[in-house]
């Protein structure tokens, strides 16, 4: 039997950055996210038929992975299976892995959904989200498509709105560098929390930002949402810049793109940027502004690739006997 899940990554417009003391990957801040249709992870789960029959195997983009990170998710689903067994997992991304493009969100969500299909465990959406979270916090959101929210301290995320709730919303992804990042988001978050003098302020101030962004998103008010997005990622990065040792994921092109968005907005073109744990810049805008945004970015910033996306739908799971 093979179970396959295809899942889009979850781009946060209001960021999860920092964990609470108790539990695994329980967020210190509430986050709000959009699913990216242009990118996906495809993950298949089979029974293991070759190699060590007592050990699970995970292969991502043709590379065998260290199991440690995936074990809580595999065991979390398997512990509820009527017929537990050893699995072989293969996974591919149609976009760069571990480069700040949210591959861990779609990767761990796809693993959870494919395992649930394979073992026939029929988890509820809440349970799927909570198990995916054990592998990567942002994966708690990626088990849903469309627009999602994940409240501070919550064990699972939930859907805020369907993908077609904002049909002309687009995400323009500027890929600046595709190399794997040298510091994981897990490590960077821990360091921000432990050493940045601004961390408490970040957590305290993100609650009102979340509420404002949530109501802007539901009202499809891009200007209000965009303004919250900027405050969220810049405050998040402020905790990284002020960590010890400081962490600067940005590259010169990242800053050039931020400035270009600023210029576009001053010309009345609503392009609102955000960044995650990496140098790539993701911009949220309306479909009719895509040509102007693309042209300005390609003219002003050398060596970037631009990928357009609409809002992604729900994950798809297939089980074949």
Least separation, in Å, of the C-beta of 300 and ligand PMV?
25
> With respect to ligand PMV, which residue has the nearer C-beta, 17 or 123?
17
Least separation, in Å, of the C-beta of 291 and ligand PMV?
28
Q: What angle do CA 267, 268, 272 make, to 5 degrees?
A: 100
Nearest Cα neighbor of 159 from 313, 43, 13 is 313
> With respect to ligand PMV, which residue has the nearer C-beta, 257 or 269?
257
User: Which residues here bind ligand PMV, judged by CB under 6 A?
Assistant: 12, 15-17, 31, 102, 104-105, 136-138, 185-186, 276-277
| Residue 11 to residue 141: CA distance in whole angstroms | 9
Least separation, in Å, of the C-beta of 92 and ligand PMV?
18
Least separation, in Å, of the C-beta of 302 and ligand PMV?
26
Return the residue nearest ligand PMV (CB atom).
12
For helices 290-300 and 252-266, the axis angle rounded to 10 degrees is 140
> With respect to ligand PMV, which residue has the nearer C-beta, 17 or 144?
17
> With respect to ligand PMV, which residue has the nearer C-beta, 96 or 137?
137
Sheet holding 31-35, edge to edge: 10-14, 31-35, 147-150, 158-161
270: CB partners within 8 A, 6+ apart: 222, 223, 226, 285, 286, 289
Q: For strands 10-14 and 87-93, give the pairing.
A: unpaired
Least separation, in Å, of the C-beta of 32 and ligand PMV?
9
Q: How many CB atoms lie within 10 A of CB 6?
A: 18
> With respect to ligand PMV, which residue has the nearer C-beta, 3 or 284?
284
């Amino acid at each position: 039997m093979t179970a396959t899940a295809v899942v889009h990554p979850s781009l946060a417009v209001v960021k999860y950055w920092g964990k609470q003391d108790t539990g695994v990957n329980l967020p210190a801040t509430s986050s709000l996210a959009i699913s990216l249709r242009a990118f996906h992870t495809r993950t298949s789960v089979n029974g293991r038929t070759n190699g060590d029959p007592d050990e699970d195997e995970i292969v991502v983009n043709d590379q065998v992975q260290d199991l440690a990170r995936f074990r809580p998710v595999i065991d979390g689903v398997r512990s509820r299976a009527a017929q537990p067994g050893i699995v072989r997992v293969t996974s591919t991304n149609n976009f760069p892995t571990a480069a700040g493009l949210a591959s861990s969100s779609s990767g761990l969500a796809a693993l959870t959904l494919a395992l649930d299909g394979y073992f026939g465990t029929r988890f509820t959406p809440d349970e799927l989200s909570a198990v995916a979270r054990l592998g990567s916090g942002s994966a708690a959101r990626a088990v849903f498509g469309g627009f999602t929210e994940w409240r501070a301290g919550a064990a699972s995320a939930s859907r805020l709105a369907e993908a077609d709730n904002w049909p002309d919303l687009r995400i323009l992804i500027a890929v600046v560098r595709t190399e794997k990042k040298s510091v994981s988001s897990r490590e960077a978050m821990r360091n921000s929390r432990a050493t940045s003098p601004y961390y408490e302020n970040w957590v305290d101030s993100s609650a009102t930002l979340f509420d404002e962004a949530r109501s802007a998103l539901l009202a499809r008010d891009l200007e209000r949402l965009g303004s919250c997005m900027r405050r969220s990622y810049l405050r998040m990065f402020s905790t990284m810049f002020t960590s010890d040792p400081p962490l600067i994921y940005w590259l010169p092109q990242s800053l050039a793109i931020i400035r270009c968005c600023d210029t576009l907005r001053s010309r009345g073109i609503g392009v609102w940027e955000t960044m995650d744990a990496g140098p790539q810049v993701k911009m949220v805008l309306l479909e009719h502004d895509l040509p102007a945004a693309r042209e300005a970015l390609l003219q002003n910033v050398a060596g970037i690739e631009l990928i357009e996306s609409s809002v992604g739908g729900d994950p798809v799971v297939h089980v074949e006997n």
